[in-house]
Chain A
Amino acid sequence: MNKEGTIYTIVFVFIVSFAFVFLLSLTNQATIEQVELNQEIVRQGAILSAMGIAAEGSEEIQEKYGMVATDPDAGLSVATVDGQLVYGTQFAGPGLWGTIEGVLAITADLREIVGIEIVSDNETPGLGGRINEPWFKDQFRGERVAADGIDVTQIAGDGDPDRANSLIDGITGATRTSDSMEAIVNRELQRLQSVEIQQILRSLESQGGDA
């Protein structure tokens, strides 16, 4: 058979592609459970971290997460942290390149942000991707929420230490990502005020959740 002929080439490419894709599917099947478990632990860890509950390692995360009252469908969680009732809400909103997913935690009176954690994003590494960095996320801890939500604006580029001004220092060179974060957080604050969400939160409160 002519190795350079069209028929041989087509058959060869088909067989090679089939064989490699088949092997890949097998590997994917073999690892998918572990990958999903890892993602679940990351999600649980993010909820705990946003709520200000310290947990290290997958076992401690799963153990402490068990003490948080959650409604996975609504993406809501409720826990009492250091005697204070804290709501956690999972958000997903448009960033510059793709969806930014994360968790926002806030006190039960919706007046003060407890913390924020990013689960996944596709922002530019080194620019918008810096929303993952502690200096950016730590600015949200204890930040007061104004009547019209929070404001993410470029200030000095190294974080805004004032917790009372509802102002978060944005990321230099990533204005669009900073704006997206502002929009996402404010939309989430709005969502928490809706009657429907408040009802779910009340019922979660009654389930307890003492971390």
Chain B
Amino acid sequence: MSDVADTRPGAILKNNLWTNNPIFMQILGICSALAVTNLLTNTAIMTLGVTLVTGFSSLTVSLLKKFIPRKVRMIVQTLIIAFYVIIVDLVLKAFLPEISKNLGPYVGLIITNCIIMGRAEAFAQSNGPVVSFWDGITSGLGYMGVLMMMAVFRELLGFGTLFGYQIMPAAFVRWTIMVMPPSAFFLLGLFIWAGKTMMRGEKT
């Protein structure tokens, strides 16, 4: 994590997508990684929501940081995050009711996603608004990347489809376990293992 202080946009992108990926390296946001990754469409909408919320929360925290008293700092951050999450929830309910129903309580639970709070506290508190926004968006994309990869495996093996389109032949026996939450534990473990091994290879 030597380049955390590097605030050039390219460095932030690489850091958040790979070297310091919120899921691989920081093991943050795991609950939603288990819950929503059995269908690609749901995963895409959910992670898009997280990405936007992270970006705009970081932007807002950064804009307000001079005015926020230290002792209520985290409460105000939570308020800002909750604000954006409720907006996402309302928009989904109004314009994508089907997906809103599928995601159920998980949209509201974006508030508790540690990545958002983590970026607000670790980055936006001490950096300018534009670069904070970028940091939030790229952190969200790092999260999205890993979850989408998991969803590809889970939907393909669990339902034989991708984005709802039949991929596997009709005779394909579905892996029921892939639809259930435990499979996300196995996949996530394998992903973290693979990711860390590749990173170690890069260093030497």
Contact = CB atoms under 8 A, between A and B. Distances in A.
Interface of A: 3-4, 8-9, 12-13, 16-17, 20, 23-24, 27-28, 31, 34-35, 38-39, 41-42, 125-126
28 contacts: A3-B69, A4-B70, A4-B71, A8-B69, A12-B67, A13-B75, A13-B76, A16-B64, A16-B76, A20-B79, A20-B80, A20-B83, A24-B83, A24-B87, A27-B86, A27-B90, A31-B90, A31-B93, A34-B94, A35-B90, A35-B93, A38-B94, A38-B97, A39-B97, A41-B97, A42-B97, A125-B105, A126-B181
Contact of B95 (A9, A20, A34, A41): A34
B74 interface: no
SS class, residues of chain B in contact with chain A: helix
Majority secondary structure, A binding face: helix
Given A23-B83, A42-B97, A28 B69 contact: no
Contacts of B70: 4
Nearest to A24: B86
A24 B80 CA distance: 11
A205 B38 CA distance: 45
A28 B86 CA distance: 9
Nearest to B96: A38
A28 B69 CA distance: 29
B23 to A, nearest CB: 21
Nearest to B75: A13
B122 interface: no
A13 B72 contact: yes
A33 to B, nearest CB: 9
B72 A9 contact: yes
